[in-house]
Structure 1
């Protein structure tokens, strides 16, 4: 699946939580083929139906977008868009 419309931040500093949240919301909406308005940042990834393999793929795509290595268990530690985006924005 191509997410070319979701621009990379490799050469930039870590984006703010709102930018990360927007990327994650858009990613899930595309993946699940639903309207962006149906994505709620407080809803768990698991509740959206993401299994472990889907979360590994999401983690890899997010890692590529951010241009920084991420722990594969990150989506379990921060199980929704809001908490994950806040955590990532605070990392340097």
Structure 2
């Protein structure tokens, strides 16, 4: 009934806005079970059907990547992959 999703590996090399965008794209694709190439990074997370449970999962996975506490509310404040990766790069000074 409940299947565990395949873990998305951490980005190789230094964290940059681009590597975060790529990781978020791969992570979202794995969560909604579509090829990463079908993800439009300008579309909102909501348009992909992400709910609060998935927002918590994404923020938890991101915390491991950036090694900092993050609010699950980030996906509501920064509503697309482009917005979130730009914010994180600026906030983390990448």
Any gaps of 5 or more consecutive residues in structure 2? none
1:7 to 10, 20, 37: 10
Any gaps of 5 or more consecutive residues in structure 1? none
Equivalenced residue count is 88
1:79 paired with 2:79, answer yes
Cα deviation, 1:35-89, whole Å, max 9, x if unaligned, reads 1110010111011010111111111111112111112211110011000000000
Residues 42 and 80 in structure 2, CA contact (< 8 A), matched pair in contact too: yes
> Given the two structures, how large is their TM-score scaled by the length of structure 1?
0.85
Partner of 1:43: 43
Residues 44 and 79 in structure 2, CA contact (< 8 A), matched pair in contact too: yes
Residues 75 and 84 in structure 2, CA contact (< 8 A), matched pair in contact too: yes
Whole-angstrom distance in 2 between the partners of 1:91 and 1:77? 14
Partner of 2:31: 31
Whole-angstrom distance in 2 between the partners of 1:47 and 1:69? 26
Partner SS for 2:26: helix
Q: For residue 33 of structure 1, report the CA deviation from its aligned partner.
A: 1.1
**How much is the aligned-residue C-alpha RMSD, in angstroms?**
1.8
